[in-house]
């Protein structure tokens, strides 16, 4: 497991202050010398109106510096996504990861956890059997480490590849591919952990992180994917093995090394 990746390298120039755009040999007034940081972000996230987006994109196409800054933003975004927000599962204390993850500091803030995670983290006893044959559709839907469609991301490490193990203190996020599903519920051997809505046009990253505890044995996560909004009771029923139209249960078996 590698430590938190450094932020994207950005060339720094320690020179006397020189406001951007003040080069008198540059473009005429009202023609942006460079796109602002906010404007780049808005272009990247599709927030600009069509005319604004066209203008910004035209500038970007013609400005190597802004393209480099855009790349830097994208790299930072990627690194940011690998630093998940709140913790949803107990973590051994002290966690070696806690010293590395900036977001570990968010964990003690219940209101923010509730707000950001979309879920009230609540462990509900359920009849899930964590054994190898447990869970509905265990045969056809069993996936190891999210192979094929579900992806497990480890903070500071990236995608968990087949054959890789997780470790106590690791913080995991799920990435669900774009598709017909509208909602995902996540559970483990103790029951439901949380749920989140899915984007149908792009992959969705779980808005909460799961911290691997120090208990012996491998981890087994279950992901209930639903074509339609699914309430908690129905999700629990799906985890318990009840078959429902438009609902699929995936199982993730994660090897844990201590």
Partner 1 sequence: MQSDASAIDVAVLYQRHGDLVYGRCLGMLRNEADAVDASQEVFLRVHRHAEGFRGQSKASTWLYRIATNVCLNVIRSRSRHPEDPVEEVPDLSPAPVGDSVLDTLALRQLVEQLLLGWDERTQQCVVYHFMDGMTHDEVGELLGISGAAVRKRLARFRIESQARFPCWSGWQGDLSEDPR
Contact between 182 and partner 1 by CB under 8 A: the answer reads: no
Q: What size, in residues, is the chain? A: 258
Element (H, E) at 50: helix 50-62
Contact between 68 and partner 1 by CB under 8 A: the answer reads: yes
In this chain, which of 118, 147, 159, 178 binds partner 1, going by CB under 8 A? 118
Looking at the Cβ atoms of 63 and 165, the one nearer to partner 1 is: 63
Contact between 207 and partner 1 by CB under 8 A: the answer reads: yes
Contact between 202 and partner 1 by CB under 8 A: the answer reads: no
Q: Where are the alpha helices (DSSP H) in 129-192?
A: 138-141
Whether 82 and 172 have beta carbons less than 8 Å apart is answered as no
Contact between 62 and partner 1 by CB under 8 A: the answer reads: no
Contact between 171 and partner 1 by CB under 8 A: the answer reads: no
Looking at the Cβ atoms of 221 and 254, the one nearer to partner 1 is: 221
Looking at the Cβ atoms of 31 and 200, the one nearer to partner 1 is: 31
Determine the Cα–Cα distance for residues 36 and 19; give it in Å rounded to an integer: 12
Stretch that binds partner 1, among 19-27, 87-95, 130-138, 153-161 (CB under 8 A): 19-27
In this chain, which of 5, 55, 67, 73 binds partner 1, going by CB under 8 A? 73
Can you say whether the dihedral through the CA atoms of 239, 250, 110, 118 is positive or negative? negative
Contact between 223 and partner 1 by CB under 8 A: the answer reads: no
Output the smallest distance, CB 157 to partner 1, in A.
18
Binding residues for partner 1 (CB under 8 A) = 6-22, 29-42, 45, 47, 65, 68-69, 72-73, 76-77, 79-81, 85, 102-103, 105-106, 109, 111-112, 114-120, 122, 192, 195-197, 205, 207, 231-232
């Amino acid at each position: 497991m590698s430590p938190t990746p450094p932020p994207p390298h950005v060339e720094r120039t320690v020179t006397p202050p020189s406001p951007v755009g003040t080069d008198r040999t540059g473009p005429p007034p009202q023609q942006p010398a460079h796109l602002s940081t906010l404007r780049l972000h808005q272009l990247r996230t599709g927030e600009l109106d069509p005319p604004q987006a066209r203008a910004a994109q035209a500038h970007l196409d013609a400005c190597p510096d802004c393209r480099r800054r855009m790349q830097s933003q994208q790299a930072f975004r990627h690194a940011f996504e690998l630093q998940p927000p709140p913790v949803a599962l107990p973590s051994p204390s002290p966690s070696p990861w806690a010293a590395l993850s900036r977001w570990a500091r968010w964990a003690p803030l219940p209101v923010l956890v509730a707000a950001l995670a979309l879920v009230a983290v609540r462990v509900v006893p359920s009849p899930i059997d964590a054994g190898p044959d447990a869970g509905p559709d265990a045969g056809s839907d069993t996936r190891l480490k999210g192979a094929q469609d579900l992806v497990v991301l480890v903070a500071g490490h990236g995608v968990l590849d087949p054959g890789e193990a997780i470790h106590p203190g690791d913080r995991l996020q799920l990435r669900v591919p774009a598709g017909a599903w509208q909602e995902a519920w996540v559970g483990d051997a103790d029951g439901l952990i949380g749920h989140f809505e899915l984007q149908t046009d792009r992959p969705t990253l779980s808005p909460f992180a799961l911290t691997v505890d120090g208990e012996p044995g491998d981890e087994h996560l279950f992901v209930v994917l639903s074509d339609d909004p699914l309430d908690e009771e129905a999700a629990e029923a799906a985890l318990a093995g009840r078959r429902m139209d438009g609902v699929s249960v995936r199982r993730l078996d994660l090897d844990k090394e201590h």
